[in-house]
Structure 1
Amino acid sequence: MSQLDTLLQKIEDKTYTIGIVGLGYVGLPLMWTFHQNDMPVLGFDIDEKKVDNLKTGTPYIKHLGTEMMQTLATSDIADATTDFSRLDEADAILMCVPTPLDHHREPDMSYVEKTTETVSKYLRKGQLVILESTTWPGTTEELMIPILEKNSGLKAGTDFYVAYSPEREDPGNPNFNTAKIPKVVGGHGEEALKLATAMYDTAIVQTVPVSDCKTAEAVKLTENIFRSVNIALVNELKVVYEAMDIDVHEVLDAADTKPFGFMKFTPGPGLGGHCIPIDPFYLTWKAREFERHTRFIELAGEVNTNMPTYVVDRTMHALNTHKKAMNGSKVLVIGLAYKPDVDDMCESPTFKIFDLLKAKGAEIAYYDPYIPEIWETREHAEYTGMQTVDWNKETVSGFDAVVISTNHSSIDYAELAVWSECVVDTRNAMNGIEHKGKNHIFKA
């Protein structure tokens, strides 16, 4: 029996151990999904706290709940560790590590490079290495494989297998979890594709094989570029229609009744999250190598990046109607998470709104039921330790203006309408709620 046939048999027998490097919002649900299908899983992370939480069943990503963590903690086919020498225990190594942008808006591949270096130290024959992080087309074959081959002395496609399969997580989405989202897979050679596809087929509703790794890498970028460009379009429409005294949300709702040729996107205060504010610029960076320009991507980035400025301008206008200056006013921002009903503040536009409000002399505070305290981040260290205010009439009514940046479903917006005299709504959260007239609720 060939090496490939032996590994495929292990997958069929469910004795094929899957190692997952990075136990964040991508890696942890992936670990759970394979575990739910009786596949042995071994999680790796440099963060001792995450590993300890997994071993004790303590949730650290709120929207995933407690049942998952408690089940993994007591399972005899799941384990987690900070000891990367145990990588040789895994038959497949799935890398779910960050791929942020640096201060020059160019790809920061340090996490991928360091993780690949670590994997290469323990790489053995027959292992499958898969990158799930979003990145520029060519990363797997131009960056990863040379590192793996040089440090291990093994040959990709002969001694070990390499594939790329982009994560498609949508944290907090009640309709689509990891198991229900089709998995795009590109392999470095036919055998790698066959092995990776068989592995994902054990746990994912559908696998979508493509011709190679760089095509799979391009698929994920295209998905997020599509969203970025369309969000920028409706953000631009919001600004234009506001000047015309037209409610962009009413326009979009009506347009959405067309059963063909229209896909509804909603405007907001700017982009947040792990993907849309970042991923499109990976293609912009890579396109320069081929002397091509990504004008739509760059224009969309410009529009979306400027939305927090628009929000603050609208807040200043709202305060003026109440005969108050921004300088010295107390402003409460609702929502620090980048999207509703999650506790993830990655790339949240609220931080930019904070910066702009402070620059104009406002005193700022925030309310977010999912984030009681701001933990340390690379980009916004000055807000570390800042805590959410209490949600009650006495507290909220003490602010000169309230800006809705994230529309968590657990917030009582009818109460807000009573408690605050000046609300700036970037999410249409106050739609349909009775208010006190035109100088009460301001769309932004």
Structure 2
Amino acid sequence: MPADLAVLGLGHSGLPVAQAAVVAGIETIGYDADEETVAGINAGRPPAGGALTAAAVRRMISRGFRATTDPEVLGDVRTALICAPTSLGPDRALNLDAVRTAAHALASRLRPRTTVVLESAVYPGSTEEFLKPLLEEGSGLRAGRDFHLAYSPSRFDPGSRRYGYANTPKVIGGLTPACTERAAAFYGRLAAKVVRARGPREAETTKLLETNFRQVNIALVNEMAVFCHDIGVDLWDVIRCAETKPFGFQAFRPGPGVGGHSVSIDPNYLAYRSRSLGYPLRMVELAQEVNGRMPRYVCQRAAELLNEHGKSARGARVLLLGVTYKPDLPDQEGAPAREVALRLKQLGAQLSFHDPYVKEWQVADQPVPRADSLYEAAASADLTVLLQHHRRYDLQGLAAKAQLLFDTRGASPTGAAHRL
């Protein structure tokens, strides 16, 4: 059955935009080359660590959505969104292989007047320099004349109860003004507000600015956490006071590291791109360095706490709480918990973990025992470390049960735990 929309890549960003389209009444098909992913989605199971629940996927299926590995369906759509994942290669350059594969699948089936939008995280210039030639060579059509081409950064915030697809403005940058308008007309069916960029490069760079704004500000507050601990100042109270300022300040909070699908990648490829132009983006690289040091700092603090209570890290029983990158989600992409665990193991600690969203967890290809009874595990552990604050955790109750609680998220009641 023909569809109005094809979403290429059914991962972290692709499946949510497909869901938004289905909700808006758009006949949508999902394309992914991974057979296991496609079979799972069609059976009502989201990909492991995905942003959607099984119930949400089943509702999509009930409304006519389907996933396929057959690229022939791409020739019947009016709009195609490329949401293929990107990652860093060994040389720290951005790996666009998945985008290339999706482009090849689409190009030979591309029809005139189709609107193609890239949503993958890419460096500025990718839509014009990388995607456009692939589509034109494979289709014999010209972008901006025979088909419309644009870029729109993904802004999906998984797990958010406040912001969804409909109430988050979409930024659109087209190859030509007509391309922008065609893409804007499509996204206007999904989101209440569409913001037009001057072109695809501006839209691509918008994503980088948004991501690095968060990265740099988290780095600042992480440095403040170390500084305040050393001088005996309660940083969490400092933040509470500072965020009362109604202008010129936005509160960020420290943590054991920075994770997620874009945060750990965007600063690296932005820095890589800038170095290739002859100058580094020093603040971005420094922020990455600062945030990258936090797992090591967390382990240092953990060892100090054990020592202060007459115990050594070697042989200590340490319980890690929350191993995902974001609260109340199963996604572990880029989560600092794995590095924290690895460093604690190197110190000789005996690890266990608990996470209501993760049943099995490995570090350095070795399984970490899962605590079935949270309170019993906290009571028997020499140190309990909160790495991610899921809503299911009663931190007041945990503080009462745990021998020693180290809260890296500042989520526990004042005085109930040792905070980062």
TM (norm. structure 2) is: 0.95
| Aligned twin of 1:7 | none
Match of 1:348 among 335, 341, 357: 335
On the 8 A contact 1:93/1:130 being kept in 2, the answer is yes
Give the Å deviation of 1:83. 1.2
1:94-173 map, 5 Å: 94-173=81-160
Code of the aligned partner of 2:394: D
Give the Å deviation of 1:399. 1.6
On the 8 A contact 1:102/1:108 being kept in 2, the answer is yes
1:267-346 map, 5 Å: 267-346=254-333
| Aligned twin of 1:438 | none
Q: Distance in 2 between matches of 1:25 and 1:392?
A: 30
Match of 2:183 among 196, 199, 213: 196
Give the Å deviation of 1:71. 2.2
2:397 is aligned with 1:415: yes
| Aligned twin of 2:193 | 206
Q: Distance in 1 between matches of 2:234 and 2:149?
A: 50
| Aligned twin of 1:233 | 220
Code of the aligned partner of 1:276: V
More divergent stretch after superposition (271-280 vs 303-312): 271-280
2:411 is aligned with 1:424: no
Code of the aligned partner of 2:321: I
On the 8 A contact 1:372/1:387 being kept in 2, the answer is no
2:79 is aligned with 1:92: yes
Q: Distance in 2 between matches of 1:106 and 1:335?
A: 31
| Aligned twin of 1:4 | none
2:150 is aligned with 1:174: no
Q: Percent identity?
A: 36
Check 1:220–1:17 CA distance in 2 against 1; reply closer, same or farther (3 A cut): same
Code of the aligned partner of 1:374: W
Cα displacement string for residues 141-196 of structure 1 (whole angstroms, at most 9, x for unaligned residues): 00111111122222111222211000011111100011211000000112211110
| Aligned twin of 1:9 | none
SS of 1:178 mapped into structure 2: coil
2:385 is aligned with 1:403: yes
Q: Distance in 2 between matches of 1:224 and 1:167?
A: 11
| Aligned twin of 2:365 | 382
Give the Å deviation of 1:44. 1.1
- Aligned residue-pair number: 418
SS of 1:403 mapped into structure 2: strand
SS of 1:42 mapped into structure 2: strand
On the 8 A contact 2:342/2:364 being kept in 1, the answer is no
Give the Å deviation of 1:16. 7.0
Code of the aligned partner of 1:189: T
Q: Distance in 2 between matches of 1:393 and 1:368?
A: 13
On the 8 A contact 1:63/1:341 being kept in 2, the answer is no
More divergent stretch after superposition (24-33 vs 59-68): 59-68
| Aligned twin of 1:257 | 244
Give the Å deviation of 1:113. 1.8
Check 1:397–1:163 CA distance in 2 against 1; reply closer, same or farther (3 A cut): same
| Aligned twin of 1:69 | 57
On the 8 A contact 2:8/2:81 being kept in 1, the answer is yes
More divergent stretch after superposition (215-224 vs 64-73): 64-73
1:355-370 map, 5 Å: 355-370=342-357
2:367 is aligned with 1:391: no
2:233 is aligned with 1:246: yes
TM (norm. structure 1) is: 0.90
Which structure 2 residue ranges, 5 or more long, are not aligned? none
On the 8 A contact 2:354/2:374 being kept in 1, the answer is no
SS of 1:185 mapped into structure 2: strand
Code of the aligned partner of 2:384: V
On the 8 A contact 2:50/2:331 being kept in 1, the answer is no
Give the Å deviation of 1:316. 0.3
Code of the aligned partner of 1:73: I
SS of 1:389 mapped into structure 2: coil
SS of 1:179 mapped into structure 2: coil
Q: Distance in 2 between matches of 1:237 and 1:369?
A: 31
Cα displacement string for residues 258-316 of structure 1 (whole angstroms, at most 9, x for unaligned residues): 11111111110010001112112222111123222201001101100000010000000
Code of the aligned partner of 2:191: I
Cα displacement string for residues 419-442 of structure 1 (whole angstroms, at most 9, x for unaligned residues): 21111111012223x64xxxxx32
| Aligned twin of 1:30 | 17
More divergent stretch after superposition (292-301 vs 281-290): 281-290
On the 8 A contact 1:165/1:185 being kept in 2, the answer is yes
Cα displacement string for residues 361-399 of structure 1 (whole angstroms, at most 9, x for unaligned residues): 112221110111238xxxx6614x545321333322222
Check 1:203–1:151 CA distance in 2 against 1; reply closer, same or farther (3 A cut): same
Q: Distance in 2 between matches of 1:174 and 1:391?
A: 29
More divergent stretch after superposition (157-166 vs 114-123): 114-123
On the 8 A contact 1:54/1:72 being kept in 2, the answer is no
| Aligned twin of 1:20 | 7
SS of 2:219 mapped into structure 1: helix
Give the Å deviation of 1:63. 6.0
Cα displacement string for residues 303-341 of structure 1 (whole angstroms, at most 9, x for unaligned residues): 000000100000000110121111111211111110111
Aligned-residue CA RMSD in angstroms?
Answer: 1.8
SS of 1:184 mapped into structure 2: strand
Q: Distance in 2 between matches of 1:51 and 1:196?
A: 26
Check 1:128–1:374 CA distance in 2 against 1; reply closer, same or farther (3 A cut): farther
